[in-house]
Amino acid sequence: MSDLLAARSQMALSLAFHIIFAVVGIGMPLLMVVAERRWQRTGDPVFLDLAKRWAKGTAILFAVGAVSGTVLSFELGLLWPRFMQFAGPVIGMPFSLEGFAFFTEAIFIGVYLYGWDRIPRQAHLWAGILVAVSGAASGVFVVIANAWMNAPTGFDLVDGAIANVDPIRGMLNPMAFQQTLHMTLASYAATGFAVAGIHAFLLLFDRRNAFHRGALRVALLVGAPAAVLQPLSGDISARAVAEWQPAKLAAMEAHFETGRRVPLVIGGLPDMDKRETRHAIRIPGGLSFLAFHDVNAEVKGLNEFPRRDWPHVPIVHIAFQVMVALGTYLALLGLWTGWLGIRRRELTDVRGYLPAVVLAAPMGFIAIEAGWTVTEVGRQPWVVYGVLRTADAVTPMPGLIVPFLLFTLLYCFLGVIVAWLLYRQIIRSPRPGEWTRTYSPRPLSRA
């Protein structure tokens, strides 16, 4: 394994790990606030219990997200010192702002978690809302920095160094809106359906369990609308990619030959040497329509670009197909959920519905990992698109396989532990003792 590949693998692993916790840190606070609000309005103790458990879950995952995020901010320098030296002045701003959003989130998680008996009810709800808002804001800031790597603006290049820096224009880069919208919706959809899926699974064995039914409803309230809106946001993103990163779009779509009325390639295996894609379904004019909303539009193929500027086409194409397929499933499931909701059907009684939600549990997260693979691998061989190559940004330190293996071990260890802890703390039905304590404030033993 070359040092460059080791560094890329370590970064990919760290991001793939961190993103799960970052997404949960954006999605869970919303679930917890919705549950608390329901409790305040209905007085149903199930929702109070849910708010408390989800707050605990948020805190555990936030803590892991905080440490894995700290690791990432160091890794930027440990693995890509030349990238940071180059990009820091332009794109450091959103990272500073992210720091503040993160800090605000941490403070109000503390207030929310430990403040149940110490502050007024409304203040407590507002603390939760601040957690949700600052969580979303910190995600937005980080994604803005990534969007800049895809569409770098706000500087001039003079003899290989940056000049005339304009950090505000860097932040308001042409991909910023599209990517942040797509990622924020993804966070709500993935978290909502993951939680809904887990509780739907437990409802399969215990259909009348009030705890899991409440959890399912709140989780769907967050997940379903986001999943339904996501294809629209995907369309906005795809058109921006078509304009700013035509090589990435061509790789996503496994599209080699420039032309008009380009078909949409579904499935198939791209062959980079023969420059063709086999075993695919083709929809005439589909890609032209999706990329430019015109079936006769010209779409640039990979052949327009020198081979050394291509990303790895099969990885990008397959990851993209996976993301779209899973996103479509979630959007359709979201529509079904909405339809059942409008007709006021009891979700647990609709045949086939619970298994469909169980199936959806991991999909949002897989779609997110696949989507980030598209973004990151699709940008290669550039770290800053068209400006700085990844190979020129890596640290000169040799032996990078060692830290890569070290962090792989560390992340495996953490992953197993987190899953086990979440099961013990959050997902399992309340035990009999807990149930009495939570649901009847006065002891019943006097009877």
Residue from 104, 258, 408, 438 touching other proteins (CB under 8 A): that is: 104
Distance CA 306, CA 429 (A): 58
Task: Based on the shown chain and the rule CB under 8 A, indicate whether residue 414 belongs to the binding site for other proteins.
Answer: yes
Provide, rounded to whole angstroms, the least separation between the CB of residue 256 and other proteins. Answer: 38
Distance CA 16, CA 69 (A): 11
Listed ranges 192-200, 204-212, 357-365, 393-401: which one lies at the site for other proteins (CB under 8 A) = 393-401
Crossing angle, helix 176-205 and helix 3-42, to 10 degrees?
Answer: 60
Q: Which residue has the tokens 């440490």?
A: 67
Q: Decide whether 53 or 300 has the Cβ nearer to other proteins.
A: 53
Listed ranges 31-39, 230-238, 252-260, 421-429: which one lies at the site for other proteins (CB under 8 A) = 421-429
Residue from 2, 42, 296, 425 touching other proteins (CB under 8 A): that is: 425
Residue from 58, 68, 179, 184 touching other proteins (CB under 8 A): that is: 68
Listed ranges 52-60, 238-246, 363-371, 380-388: which one lies at the site for other proteins (CB under 8 A) = 52-60
E strand or H helix at 270, and its extent? strand 264-271
Residue from 113, 125, 133, 297 touching other proteins (CB under 8 A): that is: 113
74 in Cβ contact with 10 (< 8 Å): no
Provide, rounded to whole angstroms, the least separation between the CB of residue 148 and other proteins. Answer: 13
Task: Based on the shown chain and the rule CB under 8 A, indicate whether residue 93 belongs to the binding site for other proteins.
Answer: yes
How many residues bind other proteins (CB under 8 A)? The answer is 64
Dihedral over alpha carbons 236, 240, 241, 246 (to 10 degrees): 140
141 in Cβ contact with 95 (< 8 Å): yes
Q: How many CA atoms lie within 13 A of 50 on its CB side?
A: 31
Distance CA 29, CA 36 (A): 10
* CB neighbour list of residue 333: distance below 8 Å, 6 or more residues apart: 193, 224, 227, 356, 357, 360
Is the omega angle on the peptide bond into residue 381 within 30 degrees of 0, that is, cis?
yes
Listed ranges 97-105, 205-213, 383-391, 437-445: which one lies at the site for other proteins (CB under 8 A) = 97-105
Task: Based on the shown chain and the rule CB under 8 A, indicate whether residue 60 belongs to the binding site for other proteins.
Answer: yes
Task: Based on the shown chain and the rule CB under 8 A, indicate whether residue 341 belongs to the binding site for other proteins.
Answer: no
Q: Which residue has the tokens 């503390």?
A: 110
Task: Based on the shown chain and the rule CB under 8 A, indicate whether residue 165 belongs to the binding site for other proteins.
Answer: yes
Task: Based on the shown chain and the rule CB under 8 A, indicate whether residue 232 belongs to the binding site for other proteins.
Answer: no
436 in Cβ contact with 444 (< 8 Å): yes
DSSP code, position 430: P
Task: Based on the shown chain and the rule CB under 8 A, indicate whether residue 419 belongs to the binding site for other proteins.
Answer: no
Q: How many residues does the chain have?
A: 447
Provide, rounded to whole angstroms, the least separation between the CB of residue 380 and other proteins. Answer: 22
Crossing angle, helix 81-114 and helix 121-150, to 10 degrees?
Answer: 170
Task: Based on the shown chain and the rule CB under 8 A, indicate whether residue 15 belongs to the binding site for other proteins.
Answer: no
Q: Decide whether 118 or 442 has the Cβ nearer to other proteins.
A: 118
Provide, rounded to whole angstroms, the least separation between the CB of residue 390 and other proteins. Answer: 16
Task: Based on the shown chain and the rule CB under 8 A, indicate whether residue 296 belongs to the binding site for other proteins.
Answer: no
Provide, rounded to whole angstroms, the least separation between the CB of residue 432 and other proteins. Answer: 16
Distance CA 143, CA 130 (A): 20
Q: Decide whether 68 or 230 has the Cβ nearer to other proteins.
A: 68
Distance CA 25, CA 78 (A): 25
Distance CA 46, CA 210 (A): 7
Listed ranges 67-75, 180-188, 288-296, 381-389: which one lies at the site for other proteins (CB under 8 A) = 67-75
Provide, rounded to whole angstroms, the least separation between the CB of residue 99 and other proteins. Answer: 5
Residue type, 17: F
DSSP code, position 309: G
Q: Which residue has the tokens 């509780």?
A: 199
Distance CA 339, CA 342 (A): 5
Residue from 45, 115, 231, 430 touching other proteins (CB under 8 A): that is: 115
Q: Decide whether 106 or 272 has the Cβ nearer to other proteins.
A: 106
Provide, rounded to whole angstroms, the least separation between the CB of residue 402 and other proteins. Answer: 9
**Residue numbers of the site for other proteins (CB under 8 A)?**
56, 59-60, 62-64, 66-71, 73-74, 76-79, 81-82, 84-86, 88-90, 92-93, 95-97, 99-100, 102-104, 106-111, 113-115, 118-119, 165-168, 395-399, 403, 406, 410, 414, 417, 421, 424-425
